[in-house]
Structure 1
Amino acid sequence: MIKIYAPASIGNVGVGFDILGAAIKPINGSLLGDCITIKLSENFQLVNKGTFSHQLPINHEQNIVWKCWYKFCKLIKKNIPVSIILEKNLPIGSGLGSSACSVVSTLVAINEIFNNPLNSKELLLLMGEVEGEISGSIHYDNVAPSYLGGLQLIIDDSKIISQTIPNFKNWFWIVAWPGVKLSTAEARKILPKKYTKDICITNSRYLASFIHASYTQQSHLAARCMKESIAEPYRSKLLPKFTENKQNIQKLGAISCGISGSGPTIFAVAENIKIAKKISEWLTKNYLQNKTGFVHICYIDIKGARKIG
């Protein structure tokens, strides 16, 4: 029996639409992500557990875990039945890479129990394929950090899919999910099909500057460059009082604030724990819409998917 954990992630990281992604872990040591427990079996079996298991389809063949198993078996040309327990600890449609967590943990677990027939690149390609069927297009900014850990730059080259870039160890990442769902596919539909040359140049400048600042460890330059002109101006309309909330968070001392993935989760960055706690408390009081919502103060999770238990 094998148990695999895959962490939540912040897609886009503000400035890098579909190009940057960061795996995160709460500073209190709790697991913010999905777990898969797997063993060989006579027939395929799937049990859903966890806080958000009620959001999953009843029909196993509509479950992303079954799709991962089916595609994996098809790829290696062997039908090997397994028994799987999915602990669904992330809400669907949260903007924290919920589907990516399930995909990554499942495929890592299946590959492990099948004696690793796929290498890491083949596994990541399969993760992107399965994730793409859910969101409508293949993108790696959630699956890559959840699988590999750290802050990932998605290169999507024929030989190199993703590369780890340096992060800032003194940064605290505060994530707040308000307790409501937002469809990734719907959040992508709201975006324009074309952008002006000025917007493209500006976004490229900020992204390049952020990457440069990350490698040269210029924390304040990196924070100033986390400005987003591709998705945030449009998706912010789908989030409750986003502009007002962003301004209040920045007044509390956040050096950056943005939408995590497609939303409705938002993230903020602080350089010390005192400010991080103030932001966390403010978001808990002002951004959460029901009792299922949550706020976590996090570090970057450099380990990615891993065995636990």
Structure 2
Amino acid sequence: MTVTVYAPASMGNVSVGFDLLGAALAPVDGSRLGDCVSVTHLDDGLTLTVGGAWADKLPAEPRQNIVWQCAEFFLKAQGIKSGVALHLEKNLPVGSGLGSSASSVVAAFAGLNEAFGKPYPPQALLALMGEFEGKISGAVHYDNVAPCYLGGMQLMLEQSGRISEALPSFDNWYWVVAYSGVSLSTARMRQLLPASYDRRTCIDFGRNLAAFVHASYRQDEALALSVLKDVIAEPYRAGAIPGFESARSGLAELGMDVTGISGSGPTLFSVTRDPQLAQRAAEWLREHYVCEPEGFVHVCQLDKQGTRRV
């Protein structure tokens, strides 16, 4: 028997919630934007094959692949003596700001858990996902793995055994996401941030995030959009992302409501409630922001399902 699991792309931070807010993405055209992992039972041993558009960007040695390491840990932790054959379909670019490593880790653990009778409950499995994704990004944070696994817009709690909880979403929002084609290291982009922040910045961050959560529950779109801003990372990262600042200005002139950095970039997101405007913004970004052949633009809404068997 083979189990195949799809794990969608995700936006970490969502501007207003640095390391505390994340959202899963679903292109409105029905295409998949995320990685797939297939798990097949073997009598013995562990094998990994890799395909997909971004397979050539991964380590050639299977043991260096995070999906292999997830399987090795899972089999050992569960005392499983039989083996597995894994296949990773790598559909997200590395270093894109779309939760590429999280997507692979989530798909791997979810597929293994499904194939072996779900020995891990969801919160325990999510904790493992965060631990392994942190090996790549340089720190354990759940703003990609939680929405990728659970879907929707997730607020990180990490309290009383609950890692995250879903926020009510604005179902008429369109998220235009554009990957320029440039690869940026998450660890390097985190190094651009200051070691400490002044009191005013901390107050602004807390106020904006609290207001966004409040607006989500009240379904107050105007308030949510007014506070969807990044005072923690964007001031230090914007200049390091080629074309971001000019794209933000151009999208504002088009009439987009707000534009921000997805994760640590270079992917940007821009929000509108007008589906026709979303398509015009996507065309503008293809012409003015995408700078490499590998770049792409998708008009998305939130992926409410999260990780699922396919």
Alignment correspondent of 2:291:
289
Deviation at 1:76, TM superposition (A): 2.0
Q: Which runs of 5+ in 1 are unaligned?
A: none
- 1:127 is aligned, of 115, 118, 129, to 129
The CA distance in 2 between the partners of 1:129 and 1:74, in whole Å, is 16
Structure 1 vs Structure 2: percent identity of aligned residues?
48
Q: Secondary structure at the match of 2:146?
A: helix
Deviation at 1:75, TM superposition (A): 2.5
Alignment correspondent of 2:80:
78
Letter of the 2:201 counterpart: I
- Number of residues of Structure 1 aligned to a counterpart in Structure 2: 308
Alignment correspondent of 2:221:
219
- 2:65 is aligned, of 60, 63, 66, to 63
Alignment correspondent of 1:264:
266
Kindly indicate whether the alpha-carbon contact (under 8 Å) linking 2:12 and 2:143 is maintained by their aligned counterparts in 1.
yes
Deviation at 1:250, TM superposition (A): 1.3
In the TM superposition, 1:175-214 aligns within 5 A as 175-214=177-216
The CA distance in 1 between the partners of 2:281 and 2:144, in whole Å, is 24
Deviation digits for residues 209-245 of structure 1 (CA, Å, limit 9, x no counterpart) = 0111111001111011011110000111211132221
Alignment correspondent of 2:235:
233
Letter of the 1:156 counterpart: E
Q: Secondary structure at the match of 1:155?
A: strand
Alignment correspondent of 2:16:
15
Compute the TM-score of the two structures, normalised by the length of structure 1: 0.98
Aligned: 1:155 with 2:162: no
Letter of the 1:26 counterpart: P
Alignment correspondent of 1:4:
5
Compute the TM-score of the two structures, normalised by the length of structure 2: 0.98
The CA distance in 2 between the partners of 1:128 and 1:74, in whole Å, is 18
Letter of the 1:257 counterpart: T
Q: Which runs of 5+ in 2 are unaligned?
A: none
Deviation at 1:108, TM superposition (A): 0.4
In the TM superposition, 1:18-33 aligns within 5 A as 18-33=19-34
Letter of the 2:72 counterpart: Y
Alignment correspondent of 1:95:
97
- 1:43 is aligned, of 36, 42, 45, to 45
The CA distance in 2 between the partners of 1:158 and 1:13, in whole Å, is 24
Instruction: Please report the RMSD computed on the Cα atoms of aligned residues, expressed in angstroms.
Output: 0.9
